[in-house]
A and B are shown apart, each in its own frame.
Chain A
Amino acid sequence: MSLSRILRKPKGNTCYTADNRWVLPNQLIGYEAEYEGVTDRFLPDHTYANHFVYHAETSLKDAGAEFVFTQPLFGADSWNAIHWLTSYAAEQKWKCTKRTGIHIHLDVRDLEVNQLTGLCLLYAALEPIIYRWIGGSRETSHFCIPLYKADDTLLKVCKIIRSAYGDEKAGTNNAVKIAESMAEERYAGLNPNSLAKFGTLEFRHLETTHKFDRIVDWINIIMSLKATAYKLPQSDGSVIRLIEQLGTKDLLDFVFPGPLVRQLYTEESSRLIFEVGIPSARDIAVHGCQPLSWEKFQFPKGEHGGFAKWIKSAEGNRQEKGKKHEELVVFDDFNDMDEELDEPPIQAPPLIEEPLFQNAQNIFWGNVNAPIEQAEVREAQAPNQEQLARAWARLNDMNRGRGEARIVPVPAPRPRR
């Protein structure tokens, strides 16, 4: 093992040479490749192997692993490093499955806010045909969701762009804060969270493959978007009009080099761009490119007739429901219970007239919810038989189902000394 590996200091293995095989020969990129079935995660001692570092990847199965550039590379260095890793993976028979993907980080630190907007607008418009080129089940994968399917994330992208315009004027860093806040929402095909982390846009679309040409094509597609962002005249709604004026074929010719156009263009391209892509781009133009205006747009004052009718009918239904509900409410006194049972109502209590119930202190309910055995009726003075019978009857009637009432004679008070 080389000393550089032991010291964890990479050797001087970069040549810093532009490479015309890339659309942008000097473009810095980051590269992450996931594989499964990686039995030995230690890469051999090789010049290009030192460009990669191993990361554990818990979302994968079967000894999944991720190999990531140790630093952003461009030109010949990125070409050689990616070529070496792809060949080595195929040689080692590492598995490319539906779970594994290749993520490309495109350095955008050299762009101006206008150009970043142009790049996002262009990407949004072309996103559906990009997914069509990617193929497989990546469009439905929950690790690279398209913006046209994740309206909420699209809105966050708009916020980042709008904040970046504000930051440009005021010298604040709100765009970074919003990008940082997307750490838990970074599973979009275009992940803007990496703007805060590395100053890059992460493209998570591609399924891992052993075909080096396909990886090169993918990176060139991404670089083409950035190259076009440099040459767009303005970055707002006018980009959408430009796309509409150019038409599908000319637009693809304007953005991508010839061989890629042939791969990207299908019979469905036009429909995908105009029906799926442009609506997303339009949202970015409306909510990202123009500042929030507080101009007063007045809705005509007054209540809509249909709405008033609906509320009236809903209120009627509610009251009717309420009445039914009131009829079914729990009885809160004994009189209601008697009415419900269709029995003759109990007469008004003869408490005042009768000596047995003359004073409140004569009646003691230990616990009204407890069986009547616990209740005591204290007898202040001996009632006559008729009064006693009526009292019994009333008590039993009032406490139907709770047990029988009984009268406890109160002992005679002790004489005072």
Chain B
Amino acid sequence: MLLRPCDVENISDFNRYYTNSWVGYHEDPDSEKILPAFVSNPGTGTSTALKFLTKKGGSWQLGSWNMLTLEDLEKHLDFGRPNIGMVDDGPTVVFLSYSTPRAPSKGLRTRDARINNFNDHEIYRYRTPRSSERYDWIYHAFNPAYLNLDEALKQLNNGEKIGVALSPVLALFTSSTSKFPVLAYKRWSIGYLQDKTAILNPQYQEYAEPVAKQLQVKVAV
């Protein structure tokens, strides 16, 4: 996998720009799997300290400090911010997007990301509380997993989930106000899916092509 190149000149710059952020660490640079790592400790003059996020027994855990030099970082780290978008949020899905503020830090900081939710207001009694650093969001942001349409519809119809991500920009969610699963493109509800046909709001007809291409369904406006 192609890692984004190092964007700092030395370790002190890394500590300066990446402190309090999440970065993607590739244990095996050829592997797709990324371990989210938290940069919090300013480290020493020659190294920085990262904590890795792992899942143990159904709960997320931050490990202990790992001291790494700039050479290690250049070999294993995917610098910059990961591309975010549709991210699993327990039973449903949310859309995370970046803005362009004058940020003192690089890397991923979910508290700086804008969150758009779809059927959140209907399940507020049952969902996990929002917090600035949701480990599950962070993990999914670095390791996005998308379902194919059949699997997604199965999970939605079973009541196993009420929102699923299909791609970084497409999602399906169910609600109490629509008989059929609603199709979301980025933050917008652009139509619904009925019998493997996507029926789009005429205002969003420009999205017909990416929807048809991604989901392999007929599109009607």
Contact = CB atoms under 8 A, between A and B. Distances in A.
B7 interface: yes
B178 A306 contact: no
B9 A98 contact: yes
Contact of A184 (B101, B158, B159, B186): B101
Given A98-B9, A187-B101, A314 B123 contact: yes
B81 to A, nearest CB: 7
B52 interface: no
Interface in B88-124: 91, 97-103, 105-106, 114, 119, 122-123
Interface stretch (B38-46, B57-65, B134-142, B169-177): B169-177
Contacts of A290: 203
Interface in A115-164: 136-137, 139-142, 145, 149-153
A305 B179 CA distance: 8
Contacts of B197: none
B101 A185 contact: yes
Contact of A303 (B103, B123, B157, B179): B179
B182 interface: yes
A229 B98 CA distance: 28
A300 B201 CA distance: 12
Given A98-B8, A140-B81, A185-B100, A313 B179 contact: no
A210 interface: no
Contacts, number: 151
A362 B178 CA distance: 67
A305 B181 CA distance: 10
Given A140-B80, A305-B157, A150 B206 contact: no
A371 to B, nearest CB: 41
Nearest to A182: B100
Given A300-B178, A306-B156, A310-B91, A187 B100 contact: yes
A279 B214 CA distance: 13
B175 A307 contact: yes
A46 interface: no
A307 B203 contact: no
A105 to B, nearest CB: 17
Given A139-B4, A279-B210, A304-B175, A152 B80 contact: no
Contact of A141 (B7, B114, B159, B189): B7
A297 interface: yes
A5 B162 CA distance: 69
A72 to B, nearest CB: 24
A137 B6 contact: yes
Given A306-B174, A307-B162, A318-B125, A150 B207 contact: no
Interface in B1-31: 4-9, 17
Interface string A296-325: 010111111111111111110110000000
Interface of A: 97-98, 136-137, 139-142, 145, 149-153, 184-188, 237, 240, 279, 282-283, 285-286, 290, 293, 295, 297, 299-315, 317-318
In the A-B complex, the 10 residue pairs with the smallest Cβ-Cβ separation, listed nearest first, are A140-B80, A309-B159, A137-B7, A151-B97, A302-B179, A304-B174, A307-B174, A152-B99, A299-B178, A297-B201
Given A140-B7, A306-B156, 14 more contacts: A98-B7, A140-B4, A151-B98, A151-B186, A152-B97, A152-B99, A186-B100, A282-B206, A299-B177, A301-B177, A301-B178, A303-B179, A307-B176, A314-B91
23 contacts: A137-B79, A142-B105, A149-B83, A150-B99, A151-B187, A152-B98, A152-B100, A153-B99, A184-B101, A185-B100, A187-B102, A237-B206, A300-B192, A303-B177, A304-B156, A304-B174, A305-B159, A306-B159, A307-B162, A311-B122, A311-B126, A313-B159, A314-B91
